[in-house]
Amino acid sequence: MANSKKGSRGKNKRESSAFNNVKNQLAYCGLWCGSCSVGNGTVNVLAGKCGKTLTDYGLKDWGPKEVDYDSLLEGLAVLSSMEPCKGCLKGGGNSECLARACAVEKGVSECCECKSEKTCKNAHYLDHMRKGAQRVGMKVKDRKGDRAAVLKGWISESGRA
């Protein structure tokens, strides 16, 4: 029992450290890294919980035979211990990103604050990234506005501050 409490504290600490690392990061395209499950530690925690549950319940012995439990548990262990994405502002994310390269070249910190946004040659790409992020529940700042206030609101809404 004591061990399980210690384990859960360790996971919570890791999750909160991942969140703290990205909570103030808004990518050039407007994606909030604090809401990204790959960056904020959610994937690590879910993978760990899933692996532990499958092991504790001994699914390998009596679960569906179509599943390769050894490979599955191995994959979940990798995901559980992987380093959360640091976000593209710290060198993570897609190194081929068109928006990031363009924003860096133009010297803007957010595409929605870019003077060329209306004639943007990457508009389709930006739209694809933003809609995809919103579909999986991420927060996206896709209009002009007070960056600090927007982040403060999202951090408070997340309940993880």
Applying CB under 6 A, among 38, 47, 76, 129 the residue interacting with ligand SF4 is 129
Residues 122 and 99: beta-carbon distance below 8 Å: yes
Q: Decide if residue 93 touches ligand SF4 (CB under 6 A).
A: yes
Q: Decide if residue 48 touches ligand SF4 (CB under 6 A).
A: no
In DSSP notation, 49-70 reads: HHHHHHHHTTHHHHS-TTS-HH
How many CB atoms lie under 10 A from the CB of residue 21? 19
Q: Decide if residue 108 touches ligand SF4 (CB under 6 A).
A: yes
32 burial type by CB count under 10 A (0-12 exposed, 13-18 middle, 19+ buried):
buried
CA distance 133 to 36: 8
Q: Decide if residue 140 touches ligand SF4 (CB under 6 A).
A: no
Q: Decide if residue 28 touches ligand SF4 (CB under 6 A).
A: yes
Output DSSP code: residue 146. -
Applying CB under 6 A, among 43, 85, 88, 151 the residue interacting with ligand SF4 is 88
Q: Decide if residue 39 touches ligand SF4 (CB under 6 A).
A: no
Instruction: Provide, rounded to whole angstroms, the least separation between the CB of residue 102 and ligand SF4.
Output: 3
Backbone φ and ψ of 32, nearest 5°? -90, 115
Binding site for ligand SF4 (CB under 6 A): 27-29, 31, 88, 93-94, 97, 99-100, 102-103, 106, 108, 111, 114, 116-117, 120, 122, 126, 129
